[in-house]
Structure 1
Amino acid sequence: MKLVITCEHGGNKIPSAYAFAFKEHTDILKSHRGWDLGILDVFDFVKEEANFYKASRISRLLIENNRSLHHKDLFSPYTKILSKLQKKHIIDQHYLSYRMEVEQEIKKFLDQGEKVLHLSLHSFTPQLNGEIRTTDLSFLYNPKRDEEKFWILKMRKSWKILSNLKLRLNYPYLGTADGFTTYLRKQFPERYSGIEIELNQSLLKQGQFSLLLKQNLKTMIQQL
């Protein structure tokens, strides 16, 4: 088995060519809407366990790397106003360049006869639209795929031994919703498993507790 670890929302950077679109909205870039707070630090802590890893540091408000090209929210309200030529450049330079490299590496492993487990790391805001998210972390997967069910059972058992943090499955989002892993399942219907790991941002702000969380996550990955 080959392990791939990615991080689609690792940063909130805006290329200088498009800074004008956010001139009056710098605060939004620092919020959970601009990026997955704290997740890049987690990614950097565990990435060496992977056979291939990659993170995007471009803000999701420039372009949403975890959505399909046809998705209505591919571009944010701040970039939907850009010209077709500008949008094409963003897609080519910051969307396709990221996703195609990951896809090509997965294909290479599969062509070698390997199975691939892809862990896509994310974090979620503890409160959204008045709703309190009542879990510490979650694994998102497709329950109709036997190999993903196998990995979920293995990860769930390992996590239960390592930590008493509250774990849920397919929460606060469904693992079958539009996303990078959903796209890759269609490209690689056999021997590919895509699982998103969602961490509560409130945990990632708690110093030593955040370190323990990262250590436990790394140990779980090592046991796969």
Structure 2
Amino acid sequence: MSLLITCEFAGKQIPDGLPQMDHLVESGHFVEDRPNPAKWKSDAVSLHIGRLLSQQLTAPLLFNPYSSQLIDVTKSLGHPKLFTERTRDWPPESKQFLINEVHSAYRERVRRAIRHLTIHFSPVIHLSLRTFPLKLGDRIRRTDVGLLYDSARDWEADFCADWVDELYWMCPNLKVRRNYPRRGTVDSLTKAMRGEFPAEEYLGIDVWFNRAWVARPLQIREDCLLTICRSLAMLTRQMAVEAA
């Protein structure tokens, strides 16, 4: 058994050679953006969590280095939100460049990592990390951590149920919900990988963290994240013993 950790929204780079960028710079758009990557949004907190999990659990970490304001690597080709408001009206050659150099390239990196791990350390538990805002419109999303999975895949459902139980005892103040704030079967990177790897070899879990608490760089946050790491370590050890 093995863990793979990925962060799809952590980057803020712009790929070299992007055809549309030269045109936008010449026309006066994004002039300040390109030399100042800080102006491009990124989910840096998810990368912080990913690095902590990777270090504590000795698990490989992959992250998308490019800004999700260009293309969403978690969406399938043809999805209406594959491209963002910033890029959906770009010419076909620029959009195809983003598909080839960002979307397809990143998914192939993840696919190769899963394939390698399934050969040597099956099954693979793939944790895809991201954060979400407390509010969606006028609705408050009342959870601290969401575990998203396909309930039709028994191993995923059992893993998440056991993880919730571990966290209940180890960190009772942390509110954890399953398949919230959305269902685990909607279009996503983990759903795409489920279509390529059998259920007994691959568990795809999206782990969503509420920014209301996880974006605050406080010691209590670090303590809580370390407890999450310990709960995962305990759960995976138990699974390994049961599988032996």
TM-score, reference length from structure 2: 0.82
Superposed, 1:113-152 pairs within 5 Å as: 114-152=122-160
Q: Hey, what's the Cα distance between the residues in 2 that align with 1:73 and 1:146?
A: 30
Distance 1:51 1:205 in 2: 23
Secondary structure of the residue aligned to 1:202 is helix
Q: Decide whether aligned partners of structure 1 residues 166 and 186 sit closer, same or farther in structure 2, where only a CA change above 3 A counts.
A: same
Cα deviation, 1:191-217, whole Å, max 9, x if unaligned, reads 211001110001123312221222122
- Give the alignment of 1:1-224 within 5 angstroms: 1-15=1-15, 17=18, 18=21, 20=24, 23=30, 34-36=41-43, 38-48=45-55, 49-112=57-120, 114-163=122-171, 164-190=173-199, 191-206=201-216, 207-223=218-234, 224=236
**What CA distance in whole angstroms lies between the structure 2 residues aligned with 1:43 and 1:133?**
23
Q: Following the alignment from structure 1 to structure 2, what is the Cα–Cα distance between the partners of residues 77 and 193?
A: 32
- 1:113 shift after superposition: 6.7
- The answer for unaligned runs of 5 or more in structure 2 is 237-244
Over the matched positions of the two proteins, sequence identity in percent amounts to: 28
Range 79-88 or range 15-24, more displaced = 15-24
* Preserved CA contact (<8 Å) 1:37 1:123: no
Tell me if the contact between 2:129 and 2:208 (Cα under 8 Å) persists in the aligned partners.
yes
SS at match of 1:92: helix
Distance 1:125 1:175 in 2: 18
C-alpha separation in 1, matches of 2:135 and 2:31: 25
**Greater gyration radius:** 2
RMSD: 2.4
Q: Deviations over 1:80-135 (max 9, x none)?
A: 12221111211121111111011112112223472111111111001121111111
Q: How many residues align?
A: 221
Q: Classify 1:30/1:201 alpha carbon distance in 2 versus 1 (closer, same or farther; 3 Å).
A: farther
SS at match of 1:38: helix
Q: CA separation in 2, counterparts of 1:108 and 1:11?
A: 24
C-alpha displacement at 1:71, in angstroms? Answer: 0.8
